Structure 1
């Protein structure tokens, strides 16, 4: 019997599987107050989106401020630490903008190194002597235990290694960070322009994922960080502060923003997340204001100055913080209270923040933290937050809340639609023939279950990316069930 002739097909314009995400709103740069000048200067030099530049500037400022003060919120005392997540394409000049914003931090690290190297050499000598004496004492322990105990008491505790001069952590694992906390300063930054390595690498493998998410959440909260290891025993580290800015490409961000566990653990809600509209293709000026670099230098000096101030350490501790609290003046409290009530109402059914309740529930706290950072940058000696500063912080927090809604709507995609999107990408980038069948797609496509593959292909047909072509030749054989791939 002759094989059936392919059924006729009509090519029509494909319909998007996933609705287009609306453009981001302009960043409220006026609300940055003392951080506006640096942000505008970096945006001028790099022509990167202002929201991207603002994220790097806010992160640098939070890192410099978090060791000096905590902040009063409507829910109690919190760190002024900020976590930021900026989604931007490759070529958006993320690295350049971040390098300019972090210059003061890097300069401060550089200023710590000479003293560290001297202290490390002294520690190496002292530790070698201590270790040799301890070995000699223990060698004679069997003869006179009482004398041994007295000798060990006289020897004293093991010398402490000097604190390392690095305060910025790149793509280290959470386990690695906690392991080294005894020799790290109390105020640290997790900053990387390769966010996919941090949020999609070893730390986020299935066996590490829950611990990584919980650790990041504890870092934002200012909670104690615990380490449980069979060989090392149990250790707990209190009084640490962490700020973070993770710059990540869209492909890696989509997985993180749609991660049910990250959402369920509340980690996503702790990030001030944005995806600015790209400037690629419109960066035609190629010059910048001659004063822009001077403003960047001034910001670097300001940040280095804040980092050089004595941190608010707990009594007798060298790397455990106990910061005094920035309180809210009556006007600031009124502004924050009104904002919190408005956000709460917007989370009701049909409200603006109904689909982003996790983030919205923390928006008032985000505003208080931002207000704390702006206050400290403006006046490191300040002990209260004003209503004017809180109003600025509320404007910034509202921008990130609206971004959370925009990105959440784009990230919440049903599993069968995600399958179809993956199949579409595979067909358009990896499959070279004009026709495809369910069997061949299951053998060579993104997933190997035939029924799952067939459902994805059917959805692509419904949206016009495929047209039924039963009887067409695929991979050298005529197939009863086949489709033509629409490539344009």
Structure 2
């Protein structure tokens, strides 16, 4: 197969439906069940599940891309949905096991903390005695060498503060987040189902450090009033569910800076259509059998995180790709690269496209590990990751890039044509549109572009009637 034909095959049509994922039995069953029970948008539910998976798995594994580079499994996820779309419900369904597990570990941590505080008081008391002895010997002009040796040895015996198994940060500043990754569990999630607090707060202010952690690089945090420190090997997944108004406000104030820094290029985005008005009650008993199965698997992963956290050596396993999957990933990478050029699928989205193949590898490895598949990532799992990330890419385009003039004109022209349809006419002459259509679209070139845009969307077609070009409105609107 030629390179060009392969590229066309691996890149699905723009604007397609949310991809199916029957190859992922645990995840699909849980998402299907949640969609049936809470009737929230399917992409919103899937993003909630994927975020929980990423938070759990990222600390255990890395993925080796077919080119040999190992990268983290951390994700950055953004879901835009207005009030009433059940964002919190969709998130809580899948994050409940993590919050419960963290709470249990928090109880044990409080016991360890009290024990440490008692040991520290004893250590302080002994330290004061040794220091007083050194002071007395020095004051009396006697040799204090033995006391000084005891002081040094005692310093090495200072009890270490226990580390906390803190995996979720929901209302945090960047300073507290990075310090937590340094002092406690080095794998965490910055999660918010009401993203206005995160977007307009201080959690995402240090853009370069967030970018570095996503890439798996070490970061140095310099502080004026305390010792500086370096965070090495940390993993951080960011999941933000925000109302459109809060997100638009953020974009107005800091969007250009964050987009220019490359932060949003790393995000997988969804902005699903509302289900409000269709969420009717059903006369059936609600079951959560498959969500519970999802939770059991997630708890197994959390237990592995806990064991790794307690171990002195914290080596992550590396997930690779099967030969067939490697070929597909390379073909997808090249297909994406070929579409960055002018008028290509990723025109004006070069920053986003440059991170897309990386995100595809991460999503595929996360789902492979979560489902408990053996060996390397399969072709079918990677195929879904490709379709999903490219679907997110279409959402990214709609959210971050201004609409082309022909798209804006097509929306206005479509409204006008609907009025013609409502009057009972199923076609209209093109010249009639030029005479009586929306004023600013009557110019020939601009009208042609708007009509072509509607035609590409399948909303109209063209035909000739006695030598006159006409627009057929008899389509499903």
Residue of structure 2 equivalent to 1:406: 398
Residue of structure 2 equivalent to 1:281: 277
Q: How well do the aligned residues superpose, as a CA RMSD in angstroms?
A: 2.8
Moved more, 342-351 or 114-123: 114-123
Against the structure 1 CA distance between its residues 49 and 74, is the aligned structure 2 distance closer, same or farther, given a 3 Å change threshold? Answer: same
3-state DSSP of counterpart to 2:396: helix
Q: 1:28 aligns with which of 4, 19, 28?
A: 19
Deviations 1:265-320 (A, max 9, x none): 110011111111111222123566633x11111111111111101568599747xx
**Within 5 Å, which residues of 2 pair with 1:230-249?**
230-249=224-243
**Within 5 Å, which residues of 2 pair with 1:87-236?**
87-142=80-135, 143=138, 146-155=145-154, 156-203=156-203, 209=205, 212-236=206-230
Given the two structures, how large is their TM-score scaled by the length of structure 1? 0.73
Distance in 2, Cα, partners of 1:128 & 1:363 = 53
1:260 lines up with 2:256 in the alignment: yes
3-state DSSP of counterpart to 1:304: helix
The answer as to whether partners of 1:266 and 1:358 remain within 8 angstroms in 2 is: yes
Against the structure 1 CA distance between its residues 25 and 282, is the aligned structure 2 distance closer, same or farther, given a 3 Å change threshold? Answer: farther
Q: 1:305 aligns with which of 300, 310, 323?
A: 300
Moved more, 147-156 or 331-340: 147-156
3-state DSSP of counterpart to 2:78: strand
Offset, 1:238: 0.8
Distance in 2, Cα, partners of 1:266 & 1:31 = 33
The answer as to whether partners of 1:45 and 1:287 remain within 8 angstroms in 2 is: no
1:78 lines up with 2:80 in the alignment: no
Residue of structure 1 equivalent to 2:475: none
Residue of structure 2 equivalent to 1:374: 367
Distance in 1, Cα, partners of 2:235 & 2:81 = 26
The answer as to whether partners of 2:15 and 2:391 remain within 8 angstroms in 1 is: no
3-state DSSP of counterpart to 1:164: coil
1:327 lines up with 2:320 in the alignment: yes
The answer as to whether partners of 1:31 and 1:392 remain within 8 angstroms in 2 is: no
The answer as to whether partners of 2:21 and 2:28 remain within 8 angstroms in 1 is: yes
Residue of structure 1 equivalent to 2:382: 390
The answer as to whether partners of 2:165 and 2:306 remain within 8 angstroms in 1 is: no
Offset, 1:360: 1.1
Distance in 2, Cα, partners of 1:151 & 1:221 = 45
The answer as to whether partners of 2:66 and 2:320 remain within 8 angstroms in 1 is: no
Distance in 1, Cα, partners of 2:245 & 2:332 = 34
Deviations 1:1-37 (A, max 9, x none): xxxxxxxxxxxxxxxxxxxxxx975322426724212
Distance in 2, Cα, partners of 1:146 & 1:182 = 37
3-state DSSP of counterpart to 1:27: coil
Residue of structure 2 equivalent to 1:447: none
Offset, 1:168: 0.8
Distance in 1, Cα, partners of 2:70 & 2:341 = 27
The answer as to whether partners of 2:45 and 2:90 remain within 8 angstroms in 1 is: yes
1:271 lines up with 2:267 in the alignment: yes
3-state DSSP of counterpart to 1:361: helix
